[in-house]
Structures are given as C-alpha cells and as structure tokens.
C-alpha cells in the first residue's frame, strides 16, 4: 500500500501506563493524512515488494519554530540515576565535587536544553531543605516513593551546579504530596531571591551569592496517582495548585509554571478542570507517555497513539482558552500572555515493570535498549518537531541508568541505542519545521493500551507509513536536514526526494545513519558500538534526486542550500 502523509502542526499514561501493540498485518492500500487517524480493515502480507516512495520538502513552507527544549532530559532520585550515575562521591571517575566526569562528557554531547529534577514520584515526599547546607548535617531519610534510603548529598545546589556544567536550564518539580504552599514559595526564594530575606540569605550563606534564576517550575507530579503520597482529584489539585502558583509568583513573577496533566487520553476531563482553574497562571500542562511491548511493528506503531494524545490535549487547551475570560490582575502578577503549551515531561519505552509497586523495583528499571527502540525514539522526535506549535518542552525519562541513554558501572559507561537519535537531532536538525509530504508503502498494526491495571483497545488496524520523514531548516537557511526513519524490518526503500522553494539545493551534503545488523542489535560494555552513528559526504543532492533508505534505520540527510 501507499500512504500519503503531510507533516503539519497539531492544532494518564505515566510510569504506570504502557502501550501494548501485539498484532501486525502488512502492506495494504489506503489514503492517509496525519490530521486524522484512519482505521482500515484491508491488509495483505508483510514482505511483498514495496511500492515506490516519494518525499517532498518545501523550503518556503515553514510550519513552526522548534523549541530546543523538546530535546530535554530528566533526572530523578530513583535507582542509580543520581547516585552511581551522574553523581558518585569518592569515585576515581568523579571530580572533586562528586560528578562523574565520563558521564558529564557524553551528556554534554546531547546539548541538554532543560533538565527536570527531582522527580517524578520522588518529588511527592521530597523536602528541599533536607538537601542544602553542609553534607554531614543533612538528614538521611527513607524515600517512600522508591523504598530507598536518601542521603540528601545531591540537593538543590548540586543540581544547579550540574545544570551549569551541562549548559541546561533547570526545571524543578515541587512537592504537592507532603509539601506545603509556604515550602514551595520558600524554594523559589532560595533559588531566585534577591532580597535581604531568610531563604535568599540562606543560599548566600551556603556559598551562592547570586540567584540561580530557575525559570521552570512544575506544580507537582502525577498527583492523580494512588501510588503517590498526597493523591488528589482534579478539582482539589487545581485549587491547591492555584494557591501554590500565587505564592510562588509573588516571590518571582517571571517564573514559568507547568501544571500536572492527566494520566490517559480517556481522562481529558482532568486536564479541562485543571486548565479551567489555572488558565491564566499555568504556562504549560504536562503529559506523560510510556510504551512497551515485544512486537516489532506494534511498538513502532505506538507513535500514532502518542500523536493522538498530543492532539487530544491540544484540543482541550483550545477549548478552555476559547472561552471569554477576564485575566486575574488581582493576583498581583501579570497573567500569562502566550498560549498554554504542552510539556511532555516524561516519555520513554518501559518494558519490565507494568503494574503495581515492587520493593526490588530499582534493579528492574535499568532497561537495555536495541535498534528498534532507537527507531521509535527518532519517530517521536519527528513527532515533536511536527507538533512544535504546541509541544515546546519534552523530557526523556531518564538521563542515566534508569530507562536511560547512558549506562554506567564503577569502571566506565556505554551509550545505549536511544542516545544516538538525540545526538543526531541536536547536532544536525534545524530549528524550523518544514512542510514535509510523504508517499510511502505502509504496514497495519492492531494496538492495545494497558492503562494502569486495566487493558483496553485504543485503536484497531492503524495504517502507518514505513517511512516517517520530517525536514527542518536553520534560521540562516544554510542547510536543510531531512530525518527519515525506515521502519521496515527487512526492506530498503528507494525514494524520490524533491526539494521545492528558494534558495535552491546544492549537490554537496552529508548523510548520517543509525543502524545495526538487526533491529535487535544493542550496545553493551562488551559491544559498545553495535549501534552507533555513521556518516559520509555525498554529492547526490539537488532539486530532485533518489535515495535508498536502508531497512530498520534512521537517516539524516543534511543538504546545503545555495542562492542559485
């Protein structure tokens, strides 16, 4: 089958939600536009000869500006993400402050734009004042989120220092489980305060005279979850979040606030209630998505369900903001001016722990990712670029060891397959999404989603293109980057590529490719380069040219633009 698709802007899956996508039947015939998800019943065998494919890019059709925060990451006090991951005091691999130098080196190559902390579920019982001051005076506490001991040696000052080393914007999630409104406001003062007052002076006392200027603050994490301390319903959460927002913004009116979104596409009423209350206070609403499953095409097909989640939440934002409302200047700080955006501040593939809680959960979170997982990751980054008018922040869960692109041991580290799409995109994609149209052979997948403990069908017979393509251009129009995921397990797909608009495309450019011997290829300490990025120069480009995208690959064609 051929799929005709056009990349265009989009006008409680959580760590307890996984998308299971077991079934597949393969190439069939249908007309497809990503503005609607079409379900079709026709299908034929996987492996039949692929039909011709075509990708058309219009350099003059600029869809939206891509916020670099979509390439963000997340660190939580969970397993070996912090301790034994980015921070390991006394290690020969660490600097004198305790930061792992080898981890910092490879993390810097990801050009992390924003780093979320401290959680996650951990945030619901974390009291920030435990993590400041002399380390030998910080209390060692029990962490009820992950049944662990918390030394509090990595606190606010250490986190900010790490963000500075990375060049990342801090994004702090406050405690809306066991914390108080006053505690949240005090945290803002500690980080951003310039006055001669208690918490700003406390920061100065501990050796940091200048404010940290933390811009992004999350109003709790997955507050709807029974697994979290201080669970709340939508109305209760929204009312308390408003009071937190007022107190926090009275301390620093310039901060940006992220409201806690719902757990599933079926619970959009949570999002509506939250936004009805926080409509002129919140700058973002969060969304969490985790997927899992052993079926090759099923997992890759979950990108469509991810897209549906974004579209549904964007619709709620539009409906709430479409009502005539009076900005509440009475609060004493300027109401939000820009449209509320989506922050996908937790997302990843999560296979092992699907339901409930486990006191041995830590060892089960150090996922091993293969090439197939890298293909899915690249498809989601393409989705974020296409959705860049509404998705302006995203944070992969997590940066090191736990569901992570970086895995450490006492002796070193290796990079997992999902590291490389991030490395490729942050280095070589432009910051403006272009209109990208694709004609491609397709596959059909039957998809089911397990939401918390209850499985139910989300979609049947979704038709998806084997080729997932998205083009970008940089501000100065020096190059066009075309990122293409060939999701076909076995076949290369020869494709005609047309680049329209002005300036014209030169012949010179680079090809970058992520691939391996099979979709199951993965990296390890013994085989750290089974999946990696390879590159080469090419002189094949022009207004119209052909390129053969290898099976199970991510390719990025970086093509120079010229004036003639």
pLDDT score, position 13: 33
Nearest alpha-carbon partner for 538 in 547, 529, 530, 525 = 547
Per residue in 203-243, pLDDT (tens digit) is 999 999 999 999 999 999 999 988 999 999 999 999 999 99
Whether 521 and 370 have beta carbons less than 8 Å apart is answered as: yes
User: Rounded to whole angstroms, how far apart are CA atoms 215 and 231?
Assistant: 26
Tokens 């500006």 sit at which residue? 65
Q: What are phi and psi of 269, to 5 degrees?
A: -65, -30
- Give the chain's largest Cα–Cα span: 73
Cα distances from 300 to residues 14, 20, 21, 218, 295, in angstroms, run 18, 11, 9, 30, 9
Question: What are the residues whose beta carbons fall under 8 Å from the beta carbon of 372, sequence distance 6 or more?
Answer: 296, 299, 300, 519, 520, 552
Which residues are 496's β-sheet partners?
54, 546
In whole numbers, what is the pLDDT of the chain averaged over residues? 87
User: Rounded to whole angstroms, how far apart are CA atoms 102 and 109?
Assistant: 11
Cα distances from 395 to residues 270, 384, 528, in angstroms, run 22, 11, 25
pTM over 0.85: yes
Question: What are the residues whose beta carbons fall under 8 Å from the beta carbon of 399, sequence distance 6 or more?
Answer: 73, 74, 75, 81, 85, 86, 107, 112, 115, 405, 406
Work out the burial of residue 362: count CB atoms within 10 Å of its CB; fewer than 13 is exposed, 13-18 middle, 19 or more buried.
Answer: middle
User: Rounded to whole angstroms, how far apart are CA atoms 83 and 99?
Assistant: 10
Whether 186 and 193 have beta carbons less than 8 Å apart is answered as: no
Residues (pLDDT < 50) of the chain are 1, 3-4, 8-49, 354-357, 449-457
User: Rounded to whole angstroms, how far apart are CA atoms 158 and 97?
Assistant: 9
Helix (H, G, I), strand (E, B) or coil at 190: helix
CB atoms within 10 A of CB 464: 24
pLDDT score, position 351: 79
Work out the burial of residue 150: count CB atoms within 10 Å of its CB; fewer than 13 is exposed, 13-18 middle, 19 or more buried.
Answer: buried
Report residue 274 as tokens: 């939250």
pLDDT score, position 325: 75
C-alpha 49, offset from chain centre: 35
The three state secondary structure string of 33-89 is CCCCCCECCCCECCCCCCCCEEEEEEEEEEEEECCHHHHEEECCCCCCCCECCCECC
Report residue 445 as tokens: 């997948």
User: Rounded to whole angstroms, how far apart are CA atoms 312 and 341?
Assistant: 13
User: Rounded to whole angstroms, how far apart are CA atoms 553 and 488?
Assistant: 9
User: Rounded to whole angstroms, how far apart are CA atoms 493 and 53?
Assistant: 7
pLDDT score, position 37: 30
pLDDT score, position 260: 97
User: Rounded to whole angstroms, how far apart are CA atoms 198 and 550?
Assistant: 61
Sign of torsion, CA 15 113 105 419? positive
User: Rounded to whole angstroms, how far apart are CA atoms 305 and 494?
Assistant: 27
Torsion of CA 58, 63, 65, 71, to 10 degrees: -90
Per residue in 129-169, pLDDT (tens digit) is 999 999 999 999 999 999 999 999 999 999 999 999 999 99
- Count Cα neighbours of 74 within 13 Å in the Cβ-side half-sphere: 28
Report residue 302 as tokens: 């979950």
Domains of the chain with bracketed CATH: 2-32+52-65+432-562 (2.60.40.1180), 68-138+145-297+315-428 (3.20.20.80)
Give the DSSP letter string of 263-312.
Answer: SSGGGHHHHHHHHHHHTTT-SEEEEEEEE--S-HHHHHHHHHHHHHHHHH
pLDDT score, position 29: 24
Whether 236 and 280 have beta carbons less than 8 Å apart is answered as: no
pLDDT score, position 399: 98
pLDDT score, position 333: 82
pLDDT score, position 5: 56
No. of helices (H) and no. of strands (E), the chain: 9, 24
Which residues are marked as active site? 222, 346
């Amino acid at each position: 089958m051929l799929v005709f698709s056009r990349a265009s802007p989009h006008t409680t899956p959580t760590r307890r939600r996984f998308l299971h996508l077991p079934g597949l039947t393969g190439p069939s015939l249908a007309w497809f536009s990503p503005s609607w998800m079409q379900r079709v019943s026709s299908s034929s065998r996987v492996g039949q000869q692929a039909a011709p494919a075509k990708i058309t890019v219009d350099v003059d059709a600029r869809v939206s500006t891509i916020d670099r925060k979509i390439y963000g990451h997340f660190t939580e006090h969970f397993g070996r993400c912090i301790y034994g991951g980015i921070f390991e005091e006394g290690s020969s691999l660490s600097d004198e402050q305790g930061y792992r130098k080898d981890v910092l080196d490879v993390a810097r190559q990801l050009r992390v734009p924003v780093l979320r902390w401290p959680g996650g579920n951990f945030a619901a019982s974390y009291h920030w004042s435990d993590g400041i001051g002399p380390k030998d005076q910080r209390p060692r506490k029990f962490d009820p989120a992950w049944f662990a001991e918390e030394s509090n040696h990595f606190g606010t000052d250490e986190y900010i220092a790490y963000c500075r080393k990375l060049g990342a914007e801090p994004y702090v999630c406050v405690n809306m489980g066991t914390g108080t409104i006053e505690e949240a406001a005090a945290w803002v003062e500690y980080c951003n305060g310039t006055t001669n007052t208690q918490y700003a002076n406390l920061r100065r006392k501990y050796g940091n005279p200048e404010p940290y200027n933390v811009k992004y603050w999350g109003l709790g994490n997955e507050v709807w979850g029974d697994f979290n301390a201080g669970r709340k319903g939508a109305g209760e959460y929204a009312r308390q979040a408003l009071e937190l927002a007022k107190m926090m913004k009275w301390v620093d009116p310039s901060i940006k606030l992220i409201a806690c979104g719902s757990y599933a596409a079926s619970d959009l009423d949570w999002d509506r209630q939250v936004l009805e209350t926080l409509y002129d206070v919140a700058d973002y609403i969060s969304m969490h998505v985790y997927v899992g499953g052993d079926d090759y095409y099923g997992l890759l097909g979950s990108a469509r369900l991810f897209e549906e989640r974004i579209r549904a939440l964007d619709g709620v934002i539009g409906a709430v903001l479409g009502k005539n409302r009076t900005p509440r200047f009475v609060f004493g700080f300027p109401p939000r001016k820009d449209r509320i955006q989506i922050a996908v501040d937790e997302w990843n593939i999560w296979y092992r722990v699907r339901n409930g809680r486990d006191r041995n959960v830590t060892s089960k979170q150090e996922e091993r990712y293969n090439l197939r997982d890298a293909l899915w990751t690249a498809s989601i980054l393409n989705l974020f670029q296409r959705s860049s008018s509404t998705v302006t922040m995203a944070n992969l869960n997590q940066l090191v060891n736990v569901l992570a692109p970086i895995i450490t041991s006492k002796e070193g580290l290796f990079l997992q397959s999902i590291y490389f799409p991030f490395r490729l995109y942050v280095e070589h994609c432009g910051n403006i999404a272009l209109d990208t149209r694709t004609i491609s052979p397709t596959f059909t997948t039957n998809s089911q989603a397990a939401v918390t403990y209850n499985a139910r069908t989300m979609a049947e017979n979704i038709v998806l293109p084997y080729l997932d393509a998205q083009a970008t251009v940089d501000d100065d129009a020096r190059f066009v980057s075309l990122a293409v995921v060939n999701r076909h397990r076995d076949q290369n797909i020869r494709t005609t590529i047309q680049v329209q608009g002005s300036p014209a495309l030169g012949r010179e450019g680079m090809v970058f490719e992520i691939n391996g011997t099979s979709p199951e290829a993965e990296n390890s300490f013994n085989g750290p380069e089974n999946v990696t990025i390879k590159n080469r120069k090419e002189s094949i480009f022009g207004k119209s040219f052909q390129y053969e995208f290898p099976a199970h690959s991510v390719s990025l064609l970086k093509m120079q633009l010229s004036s003639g």
